[in-house]
Amino acid sequence: MTGTTERTRPMRPSLTRRRELVPPGRLAFRRFLRNPAAVVGAVVLILIVLAVVVGPLFVPWDPDVGELIDARQPPSAEHWLGTDLIGRDELARILAGGRVSLTIGFLAALLAVTVGTVVGTLAGWFGGVADAIISRIIDILLSVPAVLVIIVFAGILGPSLPMLIIVFSALLWPQSARIARSVVLSVREQEFVQAARVLGSRTRYIVLHHLIPGVLPSVIVAATILVADAVLSEAAVSFLGAGVQPPQASWGNMLNDSKSLTVLTLMPWLWLPPGLAIFATVLSTMAVGDGVRDAIDTRRNA
């Protein structure tokens, strides 16, 4: 009898507040849109990626070949950003260099985050000896000076794009592994994971439906920071001459090309654009990462 009275009186949560009915994902997106720095960052980042991907189609110059006769021209109608020391179009090189820098940045970050998430999740999930070993490896890798290692590897293997991506990701994954591990450690102890076990869910289901969705937001944030990290590292390594090799352009080696005093003082069009490109990319990915973190912070989910 109680059952029937209960059933005829279903309780409805207040419908007047629309916010209550929105899924957490969309709520998070709305919060992201309310963060001006993050939105500006996202727009800038999208513009940079678009320019780098489709831009070269509209620039008639070959980024790797130049006419010496055109060397060191300041910006003009023909060469919008001028030409470099051997007459290559600076705009074409910025766009081509951006492809290289962003490819390295995104691929290295993606690889690092994937490896880091898997390794960190395993460490957090299994704990014990596996965790102890992985954690020590992470500690060791985090204490390695990245630039030095790359210079050494460039010396042994010869510098190449795949080498750079692999070495960067090998050095960057521990950061995301550490984050993934700590998140898994906390999610693993949540009651809904215990509940899943009692409900008979297999480990694969628990990992796919409870663990990964819990880990993903923090990992996405880590990824944006890694992209910025990798772009900066590429610039630093290429500036030192151990990274992307001429004639192929990258933002880092374009800065390297402009390190003479005459260029620095007299030809700002050669170092200002790549410098600004690195600056804008790093700053906007950081802003996006911050925005994502604030948006998915469940403590604001009230």
Partner 1 sequence: MSALLTVDDLEVHFTARSFTGRKRVIRAVDGVSLEVAEHEALGIIGESGCGKTTTGRAIVQLEPATGGSMHYRGKDVTHLTGSARRAFNAHVQFVFQDPMSSLNPRMTVADIVAEPLRAYGRWNGRAGRDRVSELLDLVGLPPEFGSRYPHQFSGGQRQRIGIARALALEPEMLVLDEPVSALDVSVQAQVLNLLMSLREAQGLTYVMISHDLDVIRHVTDRVAVMYLGVVVETGPADEVLDDPVHPYTAALVSATPPSSPDEKRARIRLQGELPSASNIPSGCRFRTRCWRADEICATVVPPLSPKGDGNRAAACHHPLDLAAPRLREGIATP
Partner 2 sequence: MTVTEPVLSLQSVNLELKTPDGYVRILRDVTFDVAPGEIVGVVGESGSGKSMTALTVMRLLPPKARVQAARIGFDGDDLATTSPRALRRVRGKRIGMVFQDPMTSLDPVIQVGRQIDEAYRIHHPGVGRAEARAQTVRMLELVGVPDAANRARQYPHQWSGGMRQRAVIAMALVNDPKLILADEPTTALDATIQAQVLDALARARDELGVAVVLITHDLGVIAQFASRVIVMYAGGVVEVATTRELFEDSRHPYSAALIQSRPGAHRRGEPLVAIPGRPPLMTDLPEGCPFAPRCASPYKSAVCVTDRPELERSVDGRLSACHFRDHHQEVVA
- Residue 155 binding partner per list partner 2, partner 1, none, with a CB distance cut-off of 5 to 8 Å that depends on partner kind: none
Instruction: Please report how close the Cβ of residue 18 comes to partner 2 at its closest, in angstroms.
Output: 12
CA-wise closest residue to 171 among 147, 202, 207: 147
Q: Which two tokens stand for residue 262?
A: 């005459």
In order of 91, 137, 265, the CA distances from 248 in angstroms are: 14, 35, 25
User: Which residue carries 């051997």 as its tokens?
Assistant: 86
3-class DSSP assignment, residue 83: strand
Are the C-beta atoms of residues 211 and 178 closer than 8 Å to each other?
no
Contact string 201-230 vs partner 1 (x = CB under 8 A): xx--x---xx--xx----------------
Q: By CB under 8 A, what part of segment 22-51 binds partner 1? A: 23-24
CA–CA dist 134, 84 (Å, integer): 47
Q: By CB under 8 A, what part of segment 44-103 binds partner 2? A: none
CA-wise closest residue to 245 among 64, 77, 95: 64
Q: What is the DSSP letter of 208?
A: I
The answer to whether residue 21 forms part of the interface with partner 2 (CB under 8 A) is no
Instruction: Please report how close the Cβ of residue 83 comes to partner 1 at its closest, in angstroms.
Output: 54
Among 18, 156, 200, 261, binds partner 1 (CB under 8 A): 200
DSSP bridge partners of 83: 89
Instruction: Please report how close the Cβ of residue 3 comes to partner 2 at its closest, in angstroms.
Output: 9
- Residue 197 binding partner per list partner 1, partner 2, none, with a CB distance cut-off of 5 to 8 Å that depends on partner kind: partner 1
Name the one range near partner 2 by CB under 8 A: 12-20, 215-223, 271-279, 280-288. Answer: 12-20
Among 76, 160, 260, 301, binds partner 1 (CB under 8 A): 301
- Residue 143 binding partner per list partner 1, partner 2, none, with a CB distance cut-off of 5 to 8 Å that depends on partner kind: none
Instruction: Please report how close the Cβ of residue 20 comes to partner 1 at its closest, in angstroms.
Output: 5
List Cβ neighbours of 73 (8 Å cut-off, separation of 6 or more).
Answer: 79, 82, 83, 87
Instruction: Please report how close the Cβ of residue 222 comes to partner 2 at its closest, in angstroms.
Output: 28
The answer to whether residue 1 forms part of the interface with partner 1 (CB under 8 A) is yes
Are the C-beta atoms of residues 21 and 15 closer than 8 Å to each other?
yes
- Residue 279 binding partner per list partner 2, partner 1, none, with a CB distance cut-off of 5 to 8 Å that depends on partner kind: none
The answer to whether residue 143 forms part of the interface with partner 2 (CB under 8 A) is no
Residue number, 2 or 16, with CB nearest to partner 1: 2
CA–CA dist 69, 81 (Å, integer): 16
CA–CA dist 230, 161 (Å, integer): 13
Q: Where are the alpha helices (DSSP H) in 69-190?
A: 90-126, 128-142, 146-157, 161-188
Binding site for partner 2 (CB under 8 A): 1-2, 5-6, 9, 11, 14, 16-17
Binding site for partner 1 (CB under 8 A): 1-3, 6-7, 9-13, 20-21, 23-24, 190-192, 194-202, 205, 209-210, 213-214, 298, 301
